[in-house]
Amino acid sequence: MMDEDSRYEAVRSRDGRFDGEFFFAVLTTGIYCRPSCPAVTPKRRNVRFFATAAAAQGSGFRACRRCRPDAVPGSADWNVRADVVGRAMRLIGDGVVDREGVAGLATRLGYSARQVQRQLTAELGAGPVALARAQRAHTARVLVQTTDLPITEIAFASGFASVRQFNDTVRAVYAATPSALRAAAPKSDRGGGGGPRVATPAAGIPLRLAHRGSYQAGAVFDLLAAEAVGGVEDVGGVSGRRVYRRSLRLPHGTGLVAVDERGGTVRSVSGAHPGGWLDARLHLTDPRDLTTAVQRLRLLFDLDADPYAVDERLGSDERLAPMVAARPGIRSPGAADPAELAVRALVGRDAAERLVQRYGKALDAPCGSLTHLFPEPAVLAEAEPHGTLGALTAALADGAVRLDPGADRDDAAASLLALPGMDAATVATIRARALGDPDVAPPDLDVPDSWRPWRSYALQHLRAAGELESR
């Protein structure tokens, strides 16, 4: 935990390691920024600190147009923590409040709406409605500045209940009307400037998926290529430039995404490497799915991780130190669809491809080798009702096993182990990948406690070094 003086030192040195971990606002300008903002450092007496952008907005501050504080990686805490606040933030990131309201969020967490409101406000300075509002504002800015969708359509696609609410929020957060925000968009943001230049859907939204610190994209793309299930995903490219593509089942429709292995990096004024981004292009049948699709991609590519904390702990281990030095910022990939990952972890790649061809829903507009969506648990439970696969898909379909972003990881693991024929190694894979647990080790592998709480990352180092087969 950092005190306010330490936070100010981070701001004064423009330390990008803390982008997304906290925000600072300037009383004299009414603007809030990320710690690495390149603007002149304000005087200490004029600075206030906030845990979230929503809290800064709730106190009347508007987003800095120079550093775009809404575009930072999310706090690594939300993917690490297993308590109600961490689970709530993962669900809000997935768009649950927009789709189901605060009552739906509370039901998923097993708490009353009042308890959820109290805990989030006490720790983050903002309740679920304010946190979702800040997220909607970010989605709105992306759509306004990167697409030619009509402003009215963007209002509802962003999750706002009315055009008036949309206009009021955009003016409050960005101190500009939606039309002025569109006119001020950098040229590189319009029509795709930085996205993958390979076979992609004809239309789409260009995105920069931000990460903090170094990012070992090669290891991530190696794993995704080795696991790719035909019809649903592929990894290809030209001139050694790999692009990962896949289909997505989303709450309101479907999506196709292409993510480029070679993104971009930024450096602070001190020469440090505070982070960068992966270029992506996302095509949606319904733009209301933008927030959810982006969050699921962030989980798949582990973009909200804190590589500084991971490398510091694992780099102190004699066995892992050379691996950390060779691959700083290694990631532990998650899943774009937790239920799909669970099935794939159980049956393996070849069997998963057969399931796609037999039971997957064909895309209305295929794109190259992307032809299907992975079959839903309910479809598989009816078509393949026997054995462990039938037990797993039936449990996923009826909610006996929950793998959504707000699921309790211990409860989910216990429910999985209770299924007939389910083994501990498969459950460990599902826990690490589908549930995004950063501290999982296979039951048949003896790993030291000194690797905690980052054992999932330690295993990625072993795999990348050729000392452990992919599971």
Q: Which domains does the chain have, with CATH numbers?
A: 4-71 (3.40.10.10), 77-146+148-188 (1.10.10.60), 192-287 (3.30.310), 338-435 (1.10.340.30)
Distance, CA of 440 to chain centre: 19
Is 80 exceeded by the pLDDT of residue 353?
yes
Q: What does the CA dihedral 233, 342, 286, 168 come to, rounded to 10 degrees?
A: -120
Length of the chain: 471
Is 80 exceeded by the pLDDT of residue 1?
no
Mean pLDDT value of segment 186-214: 64
Residue 149, pLDDT score:
87
- Among 361, 345, 339, 393, residue whose Cα is nearest residue 231: 361
Residue 190, pLDDT score:
54
Are residues 282 and 52 in contact, defined by beta-carbon separation less than 8 angstroms? Answer: no
- Among 322, 332, 335, residue whose Cα is nearest residue 460: 332
Residue 444, pLDDT score:
87
The model's pLDDT over 65-123, given as tens digits with 9 standing for 90+, comes to: 899 999 888 888 888 888 999 999 999 999 999 999 999 999 999 999 999 999 999 99
Residue 273, pLDDT score:
63
Is 80 exceeded by the pLDDT of residue 30?
yes
- Looking up tokens 């505070």 gives 274
Of 62 and 469, the one with more pLDDT? 62
**Residue 334, helix vs strand vs coil:** coil
Is 60 exceeded by the pLDDT of residue 48?
yes
Helices H / strands E in the chain, number of each? 21, 12
Report the percentage of the chain scoring pLDDT > 90.
83
Mean pLDDT value of segment 274-289: 92
Is 80 exceeded by the pLDDT of residue 270?
no
Residue 201, pLDDT score:
40
Mean pLDDT value of segment 51-55: 95
Residue 449, pLDDT score:
92
Is 60 exceeded by the pLDDT of residue 33?
yes
**Residue 336, helix vs strand vs coil:** coil
Residue 471, pLDDT score:
52
- Looking up tokens 């789409």 gives 204
Mean pLDDT value of segment 159-181: 94
Mean pLDDT value of segment 202-218: 88
Is 80 exceeded by the pLDDT of residue 202?
no
Compute CA distances 449 → 305, 313, 323, 365, whole Å. 20, 11, 18, 49
Are residues 260 and 278 in contact, defined by beta-carbon separation less than 8 angstroms? Answer: yes
The confidence band for 191, taking pLDDT boundaries of 50, 70 and 90, is very low
Lowest mean pLDDT among 263-267, 312-316, 325-329: 263-267
The confidence band for 325, taking pLDDT boundaries of 50, 70 and 90, is very high
Mean pLDDT score of the chain, rounded to an integer?
Answer: 92
**Using only C-alpha atoms, what is the Rg of the chain?**
22
Residue 196, pLDDT score:
40
Q: What angle do CA 379, 384, 386 make, to 5 degrees?
A: 135
